[in-house]
Structures are given as structure tokens and as C-alpha cells.
Structure 1
Amino acid sequence: MTHLNELLQTQSALLIMWGALLIHFILPLPANAHPAILWHKFAEILAEKVNTQGSYAQRTLSGTLATFLMLIPALMILVALEPLVWQSELYQLVLLILALDWRGLSKLTKPLLHALATQEKQNARQLLAERLNRQTDTLSVVGLGKASAEVLIIGQARQVITVLFWYGLLGGIGAFMYRLIVELSRVWSPSIPANHPFGLAAARLNLWCEWIPGRIFALLLMSGKGMSTVWAQTRRQSLSWPSRTAGWLLCATGHKLNLSLGGPAIYAGKKSIRAKVGGRIVPSALHLSQIQKLLNQRTYLWIGGQSLLMLIAAQGL
């Protein structure tokens, strides 16, 4: 019994991570009950008040102040609540579960693959509209394949890998704060003309949070046969992508599987010119299955590697 208590104390962070991943899949939280819904509402209301007409500098300053106005009180509340809960470990577990969204991506993949395989374009557009800020109602079969690949790749990196990265560094509070930053950057996405430049601060903060884990995960995606070639092509092509971290992830996956990704996107009726990256094959339902398999395999490697590092760190302490 004493040995078990010592194990729980020394490896509590690792056990919390494994427990959160397990519970996340076994007992999923309904999407309409997630705290992110309320967070979205607050962000929309605040933007309506302060994202008004003004100069570029004024709207940039408004967006920066609004970002801190949303995040700092949230952080203070999360820190203040921890001493009040019965078990700190349980609090960290709940926050990590709320931060993860691996199951949501898995649930999206099956109907999306079916819609693309049967060329049910309207159904595929509707599924993607729930995950993307860009317009999906005019996407062709080619555009749907590319957009679907982008959702899976960037979604896995953000909603699983980077969440686990910040959990490893800052615990459940760090993981949940990152999730709030992601949601805020989506609500105020500067890709939407009405949110530019108001949403730049939230978007840049999100990019900063993803810089290290995104690149490490991209290296994991490149690993294996032909890594040196994929590495060289990714380094060259990622320079042309608006978000360098997303560019690394898309280029690494595209060259690894020889898939053509990227290309123009439409936000609120305005066409955004984005580079085409990756290989030559347009993604279809079959290729999306290959992408999901690659992402899950590398995610398991990430979990194993992070678990080992946390085990070593706990033993060292």
C-alpha cells in the first residue's frame, strides 16, 4: 500500500495524462456542454463592443487589450480554484480532459471519409464548415479533399499534440489555457476581413504556443523512409505558407505521402491566395485514411516519448 501511494505521488502527472486520454475516449463530453461554447459567446460579445471602426493601429491595440482582458482573468480564476478543490490531481485531470479534442477529430473523420468516397459534396461541406472559418459552400471535390486533409493535420497538432506539450510543461492549467487561446484565435481569426487587424494578437499568441510542438511533430511526421528528402522539401516550401508552423505540418505530410495540399481559400467572400505545397496527388477518401493513420501512429510515438520524459523527470525529482 505504501509503495502504491509513493507511485501515485511520484508519477501523478503521468497517470493524469494517461487517465485523461482514456476518459476522453470512453466518456466523451457533449460538444454543446463544453466550456468553449460560453467562451466563444464572451469573445463575440467583446468583439462587438471594441472591434469598431478606427485606424489600423487603434484596432490592433484594441485586439491586444481584448486578448489580455479575456485571458488574464481566466488564468487568475483557474489558479485560484486549484487550492479549493478536494484533490489537486482531479482538478488537473478535468482540465486536461477539457483541453483535448482527439475524439472530436476521430468522430469527424468517419462521416467525412464517407461523404468524399460517395461524392456527397454538400454533406462534406457542412462537416468542414463546423471546423473551418473559411467558406466551404463552393468547394469542389478537389477543394474538399485538400480542406479535409488540412483539418485533420492541423487539428491533430493543435488539439492533441500541443495540448499534451503544454500539459507536460505547465500541467492542466497550461493545457486548458492553450485551448482557450486556440478558441479565441478562431473566433477572432484575422483571416476574416472584419477581424483584421483586431485578431492579430490572439493569432500571434496561438502561433507562439505552437512553435516548438508543431515543429517537433512535423519532424515526427517526416521520420522514416525518405526523411532527408522530405526535410529539404519542407524547409523550402514552408517559407511560402502564411503560418510557418502550419506550413511545416502540411509540407511534411504532403511530401511524406506525395499529396497536394494548400491552395487558395475564401474567407467571408474574399479570396486568400495561399501557396500549393506537398506532392502531386490530390487527396481523396483513401488518402485521408492514410493521413489519419500517419497522424495517429506519430501521436502514439509522441505520447510514448512524453511519457518517458515525464517518468525520467519524476524519478530525478
Structure 2
Amino acid sequence: MNEAWHSGISLDTIYADGSVLVLCAALLAHLLIPIPRELHPITLWRKFAGLLANKVNQGNDPNYQRFAGSLSWLMLMLPAAALLIAVSNLVWEPLVFQFTLLFFSLGWREQEVFARQSGQALAQEDKASLRMSLSHFLNRDCATLSLLGLGKACVETLTLGHLRNVTGVLFWFAVAGPIGAALFRLCGEVARAWPVHYRQYKTFGQLARTIYALLEWLPSTLFSLLLLLNQQSLSCLSTIVNQAKTWRNKSSGTALASLGNQYQLSLGGPALYQGQKLERAKLGGKIAPSAIHLSQVATKLRNSQYLFIVLLLITLALANGGI
């Protein structure tokens, strides 16, 4: 038994050089420990990005705005990357630093809280609470949304939140370590702070949005494939594929179309940004999302996330000789 242990099975290989241990610890701590939204480093980063844009996003010349947006993005992301790399080489306990980065980069807990609170509000038809909850996640106008529009927005917000703030973060942790996960989340928050659907950010936020779209494409696609692993989705696979093609972001469109067709929910459709209507494709079926539907979607996303994590842990262990 001792020979078998020393021949290839050790704590180092089981924990895949610490990656598996960090991932499990960060997930557990993240889901158990609440952090006020106003004090979260991610919130502060997004506010800082907004303040920077207000200072430099001047004038109406698209070429100037594009240049200013590109330069501002570099001014934010390059120092952040340099600082994280420098600190990682100076810390006494690398695993603690890695745990901290992943802990603050994840956004799973807020998705669970949002699903629970918005589900209760939908059940009570409390439009004011729904609009307040959505305002923390959406850049589009929510004040005029009907109960149908609010239900659709809740399902879409929950789905995209899982894709970007959970799956994307975990994927880049596996690919590029905790610094990669942190930078991915920071990129996402900059893109959210400079939404290209707003008139003042139409060209200013182009680089931020393009880079983030490229970074989120692969993890979102992989997670969307997991959502397709059920009889209902496979039975209408051609419909899902055709609907996803009409969505601006094909990977997230696949996820929304899969859930929409699985539960026959009406998703997508027009959205308002600063009072202007943006035409979006319609996805899914014809049923207005209700509290029970939101609960079903939340359960589906949670179970798919568990499967994604298991596959990720196996991949990390295999990559480091743990199995």
C-alpha cells in the first residue's frame, strides 16, 4: 500500500498542485459567506470604470470616442494585470492568495439570492421589487416593464449571470489560474460599465465589449451544450439552433433558446435602452415566465453548474497527474 502511495498517489497529485483544493474551498466559502453588494471589490471596480469614462468620454467624434475607449480599457486592465502578477510573486501563502482572488471573482451567490428574491416577487406580482432587483443587474430600462416583461427579464438575467459570472470565471480559472479568472471578471464589469447600447458608449465601449465577447464565447458555448443534455432540448434541437442564430451572441442565445424551448417560455423580444427600443429576436415558446418557471430554470442552471464543476475538477486532476 505504501509503495502504491509513493508510486503515483500523493496529496499533491490528488489536489492537482492546489488548484482543486482552491476551487473547492472558494466555491464553498463563496456560497456561504455573504458580502454586501456596495462593499464588494467588483462593485467598486465597476464604479471606478464608470468614473473614468465620465472623465475621458467627451465630444461626439466617433473616432475620438473609440480611441479614448480603447486607451481607457488599457489603462484599467494592464495595471490590474501587472498588480495581480506582482502580488502573486510576493505573497507568503500562494494558495491563500489564489483562494481570495477566486472567491471575489465568483458571482454564484448573487445569482442564487436573485433567483430566490425575484421568484418570491413574481409569485406576489410585486413589480416594484422585481424592478429594483433587476436594476442591479441590467443596463436596460425596467421602469415600464409589464409583469410578462419582468418575468422574461428575470429568466434571461439569471441565465446570463450563470454563464458569465460563474461558468466563465471557473473556466478561466482552469485555463489561466486565479489571475485569469479575476481578469475575466474585471473585463466583464468594464464592459457592463460601458454598455454599447447606450448612446454615449456606442463607440467608446466597443473594444471592451469585443474583448469580453471573445473571452466568454468558449465557456458559454460549453455550458450551453450541457443545457442541451435532456430529452426536451434534444427533441427540438433544430429549433434551438435556428433561434440561437438570430441572437446577437450565439453562445448565450443557445442557452436561452434551450431553456426557453425546454419549458416553452417566451424569451427575448424588444428591449428599451435610454428610452430607445432595441429589436431583439424572440426565443423559446409562448408561455409567460412565472415564479414556478423561474424556480425550474434556477434548478436546471444549478444542476448544470454542478456537472460543469465536476468535469472541471476531473480535467484539473488529469492535467496535473492526479488520476
> Normalised by the shorter chain, which TM-score bucket?
over 0.9
Greater CA drift, 233-242 or 79-88: 233-242
SS at match of 2:277: strand
**What letter corresponds to residue 277 of structure 1 in structure 2?**
L
Deviations 1:17-59 (A, max 9, x none): 0010001112233222211233123212221122111322221
Query: Percent of aligned pairs with the same residue?
Result: 36
Aligned residues: 317
Q: Using CA pairs below 8 Å that are at least 6 residues apart, which structure has the higher relative contact order? A: 2
Partner Cα separation in structure 2 for residue 172 and residue 6 of structure 1: 18
1:97 is matched with 103
Partner Cα separation in structure 1 for residue 239 and residue 34 of structure 2: 39
1:218 is matched with 224
2:86 is matched with 80
Q: Does 1:284 align with 2:304?
A: no
Partner Cα separation in structure 1 for residue 314 and residue 83 of structure 2: 31
1:65 is matched with 71
Partner Cα separation in structure 1 for residue 62 and residue 119 of structure 2: 42
1:135 is matched with 141
Partner Cα separation in structure 2 for residue 38 and residue 51 of structure 1: 20
1:36 is matched with 42
Q: Does 1:315 align with 2:306?
A: no
TM-score under structure 1 length normalisation: 0.95
Equivalent position to 1:109, from 110, 115, 119: 115
* CA deviation after TM superposition for structure 1 residue 5, in Å: 5.1
Within-5 A mapping of 1:5-44: 6-7=12-13, 10-44=16-50
List runs of 5+ in structure 1 lacking aligned partners: none
* CA deviation after TM superposition for structure 1 residue 267, in Å: 0.9
Q: Does 1:176 align with 2:182?
A: yes
Contact (CA 8 Å) 1:260, 1:282: kept in 2 or not?
A: yes
Within-5 A mapping of 1:230-241: 230-241=236-247
Partner Cα separation in structure 2 for residue 36 and residue 9 of structure 1: 28
CA-based RMSD of the aligned residues comes to: 1.8
SS at match of 1:315: coil
* CA deviation after TM superposition for structure 1 residue 316, in Å: 6.9
2:266 is matched with 260
Contact (CA 8 Å) 1:221, 1:256: kept in 2 or not?
A: no
* CA deviation after TM superposition for structure 1 residue 257, in Å: 1.8
**What letter corresponds to residue 294 of structure 2 in structure 1?**
L
Deviations 1:68-115 (A, max 9, x none): 111011000000001111111111110000100111111111121111
Within-5 A mapping of 1:129-208: 129-208=135-214
**What letter corresponds to residue 180 of structure 1 in structure 2?**
L
Contact (CA 8 Å) 2:233, 2:258: kept in 1 or not?
A: no
Q: Structure 1 residues 274 and 6, CA, compared in 2 at 3 Å: closer, same or farther?
A: closer
Deviations 1:230-251 (A, max 9, x none): 4322221122112222212211
1:293 is matched with 299
Contact (CA 8 Å) 2:224, 2:252: kept in 1 or not?
A: no
TM-score under structure 2 length normalisation: 0.93
**What letter corresponds to residue 241 of structure 1 in structure 2?**
W
Deviations 1:229-282 (A, max 9, x none): 443222211221122222122112111221110111111111111111111211
Q: Structure 1 residues 206 and 258, CA, compared in 2 at 3 Å: closer, same or farther?
A: same
Greater CA drift, 58-67 or 143-152: 58-67
SS at match of 1:138: coil
* CA deviation after TM superposition for structure 1 residue 184, in Å: 0.4
Partner Cα separation in structure 2 for residue 9 and residue 101 of structure 1: 24
Contact (CA 8 Å) 2:194, 2:204: kept in 1 or not?
A: yes
**What letter corresponds to residue 261 of structure 1 in structure 2?**
L
SS at match of 1:271: strand
**What letter corresponds to residue 130 of structure 2 in structure 1?**
A
Partner Cα separation in structure 2 for residue 316 and residue 6 of structure 1: 8
SS at match of 2:89: helix
Contact (CA 8 Å) 2:265, 2:288: kept in 1 or not?
A: yes
Structure 1 residue ranges (4+ consecutive) displaced by more than 3 angstroms after TM superposition: 1-11, 226-230
Q: Does 1:247 align with 2:253?
A: yes
2:62 is matched with 56
Contact (CA 8 Å) 2:264, 2:285: kept in 1 or not?
A: yes
